[in-house]
Chains A and B, each alone.
Chain A
Amino acid sequence: MDQFSTELAVEVTGPRKMITFLRGGEELFSISETVVTGWVIIIALFILIKILTHDLKVRPESKRQVLAEWFVEFFNNLVRDNMGEKMIGLAPYIATIFTFALTGSLMSVIGFRSMTVDINCTGTWALLTFILITYNKIKSNGLFGYLKGFAEPVAIITPINILSEVATPTAMALRMFGNISSGMIISTIVYAALTLLSNVFYNAVGLSFAALEYFKIFQVGVPALLSVYFDFFSSTIQSYVFIMLTMAYVGDAAGKE
């Protein structure tokens, strides 16, 4: 008679619904976990930035001011190196996207679901980049020049140009979503497999007390190695790639000087 279940239980679903609004017993609309996590991050970052920038001095005295200045300086230099001095106004946007993407992806470390495993989230950011690209193209070429740009070098490749224009944000959204969500799925499968392994071990040894329902011996240590790659490395690289691509595309659209 086996005490613990030896079924492999893995279920892959879409974004989790956290809050559901009902009207007359029917679902009116739902708020997904992504939105809730996003607001938690926004409020936490707001408080953090308020603390960091509180009571600034001309000559920095406190460590937090040095930290805040380093952060601002880092993104200013990044934008200046990649897009030139005239696009320096975009630095706050780049810093925001990077910080939001990084913290949103790293939420999986503290037990939430990452924001970026929801394609709607990465899709929104990619759409913002697409709007910026189009705005800068129209601004530097004029509306007619922008539309004419699709028919270059010859008119016959217009469909291909339109396709490549749409492919830019799609690829950006799918790249980040695919990386983080595949990492999450692999971690989930590994967790489930380790649960199974622990249960088989418990059954074989003949241990049975209630705490073992929650404590799976093989889950200690092994997932940490995966987490280093899938959570920390992947999140950082993908956030960095996202802002680098945003800067490359927008800088290209605005035209270098």
Chain B
Amino acid sequence: MESMTYEQTLLLAKAIVLAGQGIGAGLALIAGIGPGIGEGFAVGKAIETIGRQPEARSAATSTMFIGCAIAESTGIYGLLVGIILLFVNPFLKFLG
């Protein structure tokens, strides 16, 4: 196999970095599973509560929203990592 020039090596390295970033962003968004399950559980319980005690509707709803927003934050961290990997390309600068 003939040896590659510097430019070709750099191009290959960039391709590997970009591929890695794409895979990493995809993996980071697996973090969305947890909040999805958690929020579904919270909403289900809230509906159960409302069904049992219709007078507690407003309290249950507002508490549920707070809980959902807090449960969402882990998913948001994953999303942020994905966005940074896809759009900011933080690892490309190491290649010069």
Interface, chain A (partner B; CB < 8 A): 10-12, 171, 174-175, 177-179, 181-182, 185, 237-238, 240-241, 244-245
| Contact call B76/A174, Cβ cutoff below 8 A | yes
CB<8 Å pairs between A and B, sample of 26: A10-B87, A12-B83, A12-B88, A171-B73, A174-B76, A174-B77, A174-B80, A175-B70, A175-B73, A175-B76, A178-B77, A178-B79, A179-B69, A179-B72, A179-B76, A181-B80, A181-B83, A182-B83, A185-B83, A185-B87, A240-B65, A240-B66, A241-B65, A241-B66, A244-B66, A245-B70
Q: How far is the CA of A182 from the CA of B82 in the complex (A)?
A: 10
| Residue from the set B70, B76, B77, B79 with the largest chain A CB neighbour count within 10 Å | B76
- CB A10 to nearest CB in B, in angstroms, measures 8
> What per-residue 1/0 map shows which CB atoms of B24-43 lie under 8 Å from chain A?
00000000000000000000
Residues in A neighbouring B79, C-beta threshold 8 A: 178, 182
List the B residue with the shortest CB-CB distance to A177.
B80
- CB B42 to nearest CB in A, in angstroms, measures 14
| Contact call B69/A178, Cβ cutoff below 8 A | no
| Contact call A241/B70, Cβ cutoff below 8 A | yes
Q: A12-B88, A182-B83, A185-B87 are in contact. Are A237 and B69 (CB under 8 A)?
A: yes
Q: How far is the CA of A12 from the CA of B83 in the complex (A)?
A: 9
The contact of B76 among A12, A182, A237, by CB within 8 Å, is A182
7 closest Cβ pairs, A-B complex: A178-B76, A12-B87, A241-B69, A175-B73, A178-B80, A182-B79, A244-B66
List the B residue with the shortest CB-CB distance to A119.
B80
List the A residue with the shortest CB-CB distance to B87.
A12
Residues in A neighbouring B73, C-beta threshold 8 A: 171, 174-175, 178
Q: How far is the CA of A178 from the CA of B87 in the complex (A)?
A: 15
Residues in A neighbouring B88, C-beta threshold 8 A: 12
> What per-residue 1/0 map shows which CB atoms of B78-96 lie under 8 Å from chain A?
0110010001100000000
| Contact call B69/A175, Cβ cutoff below 8 A | yes
List the A residue with the shortest CB-CB distance to B79.
A182
List the A residue with the shortest CB-CB distance to B88.
A12
Q: How far is the CA of A57 from the CA of B65 in the complex (A)?
A: 38
Residues in A neighbouring B76, C-beta threshold 8 A: 174-175, 178-179, 182
Q: How far is the CA of A11 from the CA of B88 in the complex (A)?
A: 9
Not counting A241-B70, A245-B66, a sample of 19 additional A-B residue pairs whose C-beta atoms are within 8 angstroms of each other reads: A174-B77, A174-B80, A175-B73, A175-B76, A178-B73, A178-B77, A178-B79, A178-B80, A179-B76, A181-B80, A182-B76, A182-B83, A237-B69, A238-B69, A240-B65, A241-B65, A241-B66, A241-B69, A245-B70
| Residue from the set A11, A178, A238 with the largest chain B CB neighbour count within 10 Å | A178
Residues in A neighbouring B80, C-beta threshold 8 A: 174, 177-178, 181-182
- CB A143 to nearest CB in B, in angstroms, measures 31
